[in-house]
A and B are shown apart, each in its own frame.
Chain A
Amino acid sequence: MTVTHDVPARSEVASAAPERAPARRNRQLAAWAFLAPIVVYLFAFYAYPLYRNLDLSLRNYTVRSFVRGDAPFSGLANYTKVFHDPTFGPALLHTVVFTGVSLVFQFSIGMALAVFFAQSFRLSATLRALFLVPWLLPLIVSASTWSWLLNSDSGVVNAALHAAGVEPVNWLTSPQWALTSVIIANIWIGIPFNLVVLYSGLRAVPAEIYEAAALDGATGWATFRRITFPLLRPVSAITLLLGLVYTLKVFDIIWIMTKGGPTDASTTFATWSYRLSFGNLLPAFGPGAAVGNLLIIMALIFGLLYIRIQRRQQP
């Protein structure tokens, strides 16, 4: 869908063929005139901030030199500093665990729900629309709601556990549970996206295939494993990769619920980078930008993989 403009419609080819060179030049001029605003915009508001970020990570900034802009060039010193920081190991581990666990649950729950809602029954469309609500809510709303749900003393989750005879859990304030808590909230937010994308993938599977399988005696789980899942593989790959890119950069939920704490227990690269640059009284812009750039590299690796797979699927 993304590169459709490369393939001109038939009628356009016909009309373009007899064009003379000046006409073609005019056309190119018009085409780029329409693109000019966005090109300027991309340079000013994407390329330049990214360049500034790279520059920040390669210089030794203090608050004063940040304002005056005369910080000395320090090469990769910020990166070395970040690699040897005691937070680096935990932050990397938490980023991987947060992303991996979130994806596994979002995807499998989303898939199960998509298969369920693909059946026809009354209210199916309405209920499916309601499932979108968590995805549409502002993250601050979801995060603060989950903070209260998981509150140690007055949260409804602990009340339910108590009713079931389980000891209360310090969800957000104990190091063992903080990461789990933010993962739970993130899974809840991500399920709708997986549901909707996988559902539209399911709808694209021709009904005849299921009919043929039913004639051959396949039922329930066998149909899913042997037919639905293999046919959904391309859509699944894309859903997972896109989910990966989006989950790597999750910042709001973790910051609002735990601020990455207690003591780094739920710190990921995203929250660490923010805390270095903005979370302390003495900002460390250089190291903060360095962590941010590491995050960009991770996102880009999977992002490029996603684009590759998506292009291969174009007819």
Chain B
Amino acid sequence: MIRPLKTAIGVLLTAVMLFPVYWMINVSFTRDTDMRASPPHLFPVHGTLEGYRAVLDQQLPYLGTSLIVGLGTVLLTVALSAPAGYSLAKLRPRGGGVLSFVLLIAQMIPGIIMAMGFYATYLKLGVLNSTAGLILADSTIAVPFGVLIFTAFMSGIPGELLAAAVVDGAGPLRTFWSVVLPVSRNAVVTVSLFAFLWAWSDFVFATTLDGGGAHQPITLGIYHYIGNNNQQWNAIMATAVIASIPATLLLIVAQRYVAAGVTAGAVKD
């Protein structure tokens, strides 16, 4: 096969794969009156921004909550998993193998089951429908992954670098803070990106733990939209487009980190 032909086939395959995404954007610009047109318009010929206007009117608080939940989850995840990764990679704790094993297993527990346990606990403690509670729950999606990434990355830091820090009189804490963490920037970025994306996208914890809250994330904003006004699909799809912005930014800004994150855990280096 000649190369331009391969490129053409590649473009075609990508177009087919991304058609639903295109359709989401197309519908977000479609007028209410054209929504039920038969056959549907393939392009938003009479494009409208009413969908986006509805988002600005109604969905901004949801987006704000999601942003806070996402950032909170990132902080919590990195704070918990970076020290753990350092210890497992470099300090050879007795019983570290067991801990890694537990973390691998933890990753496989279905979210709804965690949600049920959290619900029972939160109800008792009275922290249902709180942003902090949602951050805690969302962090469970990312923490095991975070430890995995940090352990793998920090294992690659040369022992000489750490030995030099010790010679200079640095204790473990100082070594971690001033030597290990700065050289692990890529791992911090990868873990943060995924923690944010997962918290931003979470629906299971949001619907079980924050379903009646005053501050709800954007996933619930969309969900209520679908339930309430079945007709306004341009507004629903406009919200969906806006909710997809973090994922898109991630792909543009940090493509190589994304690919690394997907393959981590599945394929050895």
Q: Residues of A at under 8 Å CB distance from B?
A: 1-6, 8-12, 15, 27-28, 30-35, 37-39, 41-42, 45-46, 48-53, 56, 66-67, 69, 113, 116-117, 119-124, 127, 129-142, 144-149, 153-156, 159, 162-163, 188, 191-193, 196-197, 200-201, 204, 235, 238-239, 242, 245, 248-249, 251-252, 256, 270, 273-274, 277-278, 285, 288-289, 292-293, 295-296, 299-300, 303-304, 307, 310, 313-314
The interface stretch among B46-54, B109-117, B183-191 is B109-117
**Contacting pair B117 A49 (CB below 8 A):** yes
What residues of chain B lie closer than 8 Å to A34, measured between beta carbons?
A: 83-84, 86-87, 91, 172, 176
What residues of chain B lie closer than 8 Å to A117, measured between beta carbons?
A: 10
What residues of chain A lie closer than 8 Å to B121, measured between beta carbons?
A: 48-49, 52
Tell me whether A137 and B244 are in contact in the complex, defined as CB-CB below 8 angstroms, given that A35-B93, A289-B116 are known contacts: yes
**Contacting pair A119 B112 (CB below 8 A):** no
CB closest residue in chain A, given B221: A140
- Leading 3 A-B pairs by shortest Cβ distance: A49-B117, A249-B110, A138-B201
**11 pairs from A and B in contact (CB 8 Å cutoff):** A4-B152, A5-B92, A11-B159, A11-B160, A12-B159, A32-B87, A52-B116, A130-B14, A133-B18, A133-B251, A148-B236
**Contacting pair B93 A28 (CB below 8 A):** yes
A193 to B83, CA, bound (A): 29
**Contacting pair A154 B21 (CB below 8 A):** no
Q: Residues of B at under 8 Å CB distance from A?
A: 3-4, 6-7, 9-11, 13-14, 17-18, 20-21, 23-24, 27, 35-40, 79-81, 83-84, 86-94, 96-97, 99-106, 108-114, 116-121, 123-124, 136-137, 139-140, 143, 147-148, 151-152, 155, 158-160, 163, 171-172, 176, 197, 200-201, 203-204, 207-208, 218-219, 222-223, 226, 233, 236-237, 240, 243-244, 247-248, 250-251, 255, 258-259, 262-269
Tell me whether A35 and B83 are in contact in the complex, defined as CB-CB below 8 angstroms, given that A5-B89, A196-B259 are known contacts: yes
What residues of chain A lie closer than 8 Å to B201, measured between beta carbons?
A: 137-140
What residues of chain B lie closer than 8 Å to A289, measured between beta carbons?
A: 113, 116
What residues of chain A lie closer than 8 Å to B124, measured between beta carbons?
A: 69
CB closest residue in chain B, given A120: B3
**Contacting pair B20 A122 (CB below 8 A):** no
**Contacting pair B89 A4 (CB below 8 A):** yes
**Contacting pair B100 A3 (CB below 8 A):** yes
CB closest residue in chain B, given A69: B124
**Contacting pair B155 A136 (CB below 8 A):** no
**Contacting pair B233 A121 (CB below 8 A):** no
What residues of chain A lie closer than 8 Å to B244, measured between beta carbons?
A: 137-138, 141
| Minimum C-beta distance from B140 to chain A (A) | 5
A156 to B102, CA, bound (A): 46
Chain A interface helix/strand/loop/mixed: helix
What residues of chain B lie closer than 8 Å to A139, measured between beta carbons?
A: 201, 203
A204 to B266, CA, bound (A): 14
**Contacting pair B112 A138 (CB below 8 A):** no
Tell me whether A35 and B108 are in contact in the complex, defined as CB-CB below 8 angstroms, given that A1-B269, A145-B20, A154-B36 are known contacts: no
| Minimum C-beta distance from A189 to chain B (A) | 10
**Contacting pair A2 B226 (CB below 8 A):** no
**Contacting pair B143 A41 (CB below 8 A):** yes
A41 to B81, CA, bound (A): 10
**Contacting pair B6 A256 (CB below 8 A):** no
| Minimum C-beta distance from B157 to chain A (A) | 9
Residue of B109, B137, B233, B264 near A50 (CB, 8 A) is: B109
CB closest residue in chain A, given B122: A49
What residues of chain B lie closer than 8 Å to A277, measured between beta carbons?
A: 116, 119
**Contacting pair B87 A35 (CB below 8 A):** yes
| Minimum C-beta distance from A282 to chain B (A) | 16
Tell me whether A256 and B251 are in contact in the complex, defined as CB-CB below 8 angstroms, given that A1-B152, A5-B96 are known contacts: no
| Minimum C-beta distance from B154 to chain A (A) | 9
What residues of chain B lie closer than 8 Å to A163, measured between beta carbons?
A: 39
CB closest residue in chain B, given A135: B262
A106 to B108, CA, bound (A): 19
CB closest residue in chain A, given B37: A154
Residue of B17, B159, B222, B268 near A131 (CB, 8 A) is: B17
CB closest residue in chain A, given B87: A34
**Contacting pair B106 A270 (CB below 8 A):** no
A263 to B248, CA, bound (A): 37
A190 to B64, CA, bound (A): 29
| Minimum C-beta distance from A145 to chain B (A) | 4
What residues of chain A lie closer than 8 Å to B152, measured between beta carbons?
A: 1-2, 4
What residues of chain B lie closer than 8 Å to A188, measured between beta carbons?
A: 17, 20
Tell me whether A121 and B10 are in contact in the complex, defined as CB-CB below 8 angstroms, given that A53-B116, A314-B268 are known contacts: yes
Tell me whether A140 and B237 are in contact in the complex, defined as CB-CB below 8 angstroms, given that A27-B91, A156-B23, A313-B268 are known contacts: no
A56 to B80, CA, bound (A): 29
A200 to B120, CA, bound (A): 42
Tell me whether A122 and B116 are in contact in the complex, defined as CB-CB below 8 angstroms, given that A45-B136, A188-B20 are known contacts: no
A313 to B267, CA, bound (A): 10
CB closest residue in chain A, given B86: A34
What residues of chain B lie closer than 8 Å to A123, measured between beta carbons?
A: 7, 10-11
